[in-house]
Structure 1
Amino acid sequence: MNLPIDLPPLKGFRYPREIIALAVWAYHRLALSTADVEDLLAARGVIVSREAIRLWVNRFGSHFADCIRRERPRPNDKWHMDEVVITIRGKKHWLWRAIDADGDVLDILVQTRRNAKAAKRFFQRLVSQFGEPRVVITDKLRSYIKPVKTQAPNADHRAHKGLNNAIEVS
């Protein structure tokens, strides 16, 4: 967490910017509850209510989440894509998943269909967010062929059941 030291205090807030930043950062980065953040700050000698932490998270959370996302390393250019059926309230849905070669989750999407339109929507989201991949590894679902060819024409598309084991394990 990088904060410039010479920032002016936030108007209308009792606590300095550094304490608010630490609370919001701990909530998002460490996935702590407001009670855990309250205990963390109390251990450092700062008495803050859970409600104040919740208000800080609601107000400044999106900014800190964007900063955390920017600090993440860029994903690998070799993607594994897969879909799995899940049941939600008795209705069949498809969970589309994509990971990179390091096993980091790129994106997930839940849809009611498993067709070319659904594959196109999912792959289009990935390409717009992370850029064009070098290699795309999928199972033998034919719905992947057209989206990969149109969205990433230079990508090497490998459709093989055994090669996609990395995402099957994740």
Structure 2
Amino acid sequence: MTSEPATYPGYRFPAEIISHAVWLYHVFGLSFRDVELLLAERGITVTHETIRQWCLKFGADFARKLRRRRPKPGDTWHLDEVFLKVNGELHYLWRAVDQHGVVLDILVQDRRNATAAKRFLKRLLAGLKYKPKRLVTEGLHSYGVAHRDILHQVKHRTSRYLNNRAENSHRPTRRRERQTQRFKSPKQAQRFLSSQAMIYGHFRPRRHLMTAAEYRDARAKAFRIGRQKTCVQMAA
């Protein structure tokens, strides 16, 4: 009996094509028109607007499934924030990574004060369900206030040089920000960056910390989990 490709209800394209388009968009910094061209080269005729709808519909869902599957993060959290221009207005992207460079969460806010820092820290604790052993931040005083009010029992180190992991994790965001010619709204930025951080990180293990064999194994595992979570395995 010939097996048929898995599909999503209400969509005429197989799940494998939809998930591949979402994967291309989030992992490689391509535009919707770039993804349209790549699919066209493979004989798949689909418009960039359809691809945009796929990414909106399935990107966040894929990211949630990958987030639930990821291993327990490390016990040292690096927190950092950078400015974003959203529809011409200044906003801030708050990001937390562990000592291995794995993104824990991001939050787009319009403030860079103690209230914003506490909101981000509470979001982290609610999402991860446990507390770290150490926080590492830059010199922003807002982190100190949030630490005293919420995680006073956790060690807190302040140094711009110790926080390179968090700062380096902003680079994919900067590339996408330039490519998309700025974000149009805080909601759109939050939705895209939350999905992109998880999907990009899942398929981009820290190559420089692994041997070639370890990297190939990690890459194969990432693909296997990705196929499971996006339901692209062949139907029986």
| Short-chain TM bin | 0.5 to 0.7
Question: Which stretches in structure 2 are left out of the alignment for 5+ residues?
Answer: 169-236
Aligned length: 164
Task: Tell me which protein shows more helix as a share of its residues.
Answer: 2
Query: 2:64 pairs with 63, 66, 70, which one?
Result: 66
Counterpart of 2:59 in structure 1: which amino acid? Answer: G
Cα distance in 1, alignment partners of residues 56 and 139 from structure 2:
43
Give the superposition deviation at 1:43: 2.3
Shift of 1:78: 0.7
Task: Determine the structure 2 residue equivalent to 1:27.
Answer: 25
What's the CA shift string for 1:59-91, capped at 9, x where partnerless?
333323333444555432212234567898998
Greater CA deviation, 81-90 or 67-76?
81-90
TM-score normalized with structure 2 length: 0.51
Mapped to 2, the partners of 1:97 and 1:23 lie a distance apart of 26
Give, in angstroms, the shift of residue 10 of structure 1: 4.2
Q: Deviations over 1:96-145 (max 9, x none)?
A: 44332234444354343523x33321211222223311111234555444
**Secondary structure in structure 2 of the residue aligned to 1:14:** coil
| Distance of aligned partners of 1:12 and 1:120 in 2 relative to their CA distance in 1, 3 Å threshold | closer
1:32-43, aligned counterparts within 5 Å? Answer: 32-43=30-41
Give % identity.
Answer: 41
3-state DSSP of counterpart to 1:126: helix
CA, structure 1 residues 42+128, in 2 after alignment: closer, same or farther (shift >3 Å)? same
Query: C-alpha separation between the residues in 2 aligned to 1:53 and 1:91?
Result: 28
Kept after mapping to 1: 8 A contact 2:138/2:163? no
Task: Specify the structure having the higher radius of gyration (Cα).
Answer: 1
Tell me what 2:133 maps to: 134
Coordinate RMSD, CA, aligned: 3.8
Measured at CA, do residues 141 and 27 of structure 1 come closer, stay the same or move farther in structure 2, by a change above 3 Å? closer
Tell me: higher relative CO, structure 1 or 2? Use CA pairs within 8 A at least 6 residues apart.
2
